[in-house]
Structure 1
Amino acid sequence: MTEENGHPAARRGRPRSTGDAERRQAILRAAHEAFVELGFAGTTTAIVAARAKVSKRTIYESFADKTAMFAAVIREHQHLILDLPRPPDENLPLLDTMIRLFRLDIDEDAERSREAILNLMTKESVLFPELSDYLYETEAIRSREALIEWLQEEASRGRIVVEDPAVYAGMLMDIVFGALLPRRRLQRAPDRALRREHIKKRLEIFLRGIHAGGAAPRP
Structure 2
Amino acid sequence: MKSSDSLPTRGRPRTQDAASRRQVIIESAYRAFVELGFANTSTAEVARRAKVSKRTLYEVFSDKQALFAAVISEHRHLLLDLPRPEDEQCALDESLFRIFRLDVSEEQSLEREAILRLMTRESILFPELSDYLYETRAVSSREMLMDWLQSTASEKNLPLDDAAVYAGMLMDVVFGALMPHRRVADFREKQVIAEHIKRRIQITLRGMGWLPA
Fold match, TM over 0.5? yes
The answer to whether the aligner puts 1:17 opposite 2:15 as a matched pair is: yes
The match for 2:188 is 190
- Write the distance in 1 (CA, Å) between the matches of 2:18 and 2:192: 43
Please state whether the residue corresponding to 2:38 is helix, strand or coil. Answer: helix
Aligned residues: 206
Which of 111, 115, 118 is 1:117 aligned to? 115
The match for 1:26 is 24
Find runs of 4+ consecutive structure 1 residues off by over 4 angstroms: none
Deviation at 1:170, TM superposition (A): 1.0
Please state whether the residue corresponding to 1:42 is helix, strand or coil. Answer: coil
Which of 93, 101, 104 is 2:102 aligned to? 104
Please state whether the residue corresponding to 1:157 is helix, strand or coil. Answer: helix
Q: Which residues of 2 match residues 33-112 of structure 1 at below 5 A?
A: 33-112=31-110
Deviations 1:144-177 (A, max 9, x none): 1111111100111125311111111111011001
Q: Which amino acid aligns with 1:149?
A: D
Normalising by structure 2, what TM-score? 0.92
Deviations 1:91-118 (A, max 9, x none): 2100110010001121110110001001
Deviation at 1:126, TM superposition (A): 0.6
The match for 1:167 is 165
Distance 1:201 1:16, change over 3 A: same
- Write the distance in 1 (CA, Å) between the matches of 2:47 and 2:63: 13
- Write the distance in 2 (CA, Å) between the matches of 1:16 and 1:194: 48
Segment of structure 1 superposing worse, 178-187 or 65-74: 178-187
Which of 134, 137, 148 is 2:135 aligned to? 137
Deviation at 1:67, TM superposition (A): 0.4
The match for 1:209 is 207
Q: Which amino acid aligns with 1:104?
A: L
Unaligned runs of 5+ in 1: 1-9
- Write the distance in 1 (CA, Å) between the matches of 2:158 and 2:52: 50
Normalising by structure 1, what TM-score? 0.90
Q: Which amino acid aligns with 1:52?
A: A
- Write the distance in 1 (CA, Å) between the matches of 2:145 and 2:12: 39
Deviation at 1:211, TM superposition (A): 2.4
The answer on whether the counterparts of 1:36 and 1:116 sit within 8 Å (CA) in structure 2 is: yes
- Write the distance in 1 (CA, Å) between the matches of 2:157 and 2:139: 27
Deviation at 1:14, TM superposition (A): 6.9
- Structure 1 or 2, whichever has the larger Rg, is 1
The answer on whether the counterparts of 1:159 and 1:212 sit within 8 Å (CA) in structure 2 is: no
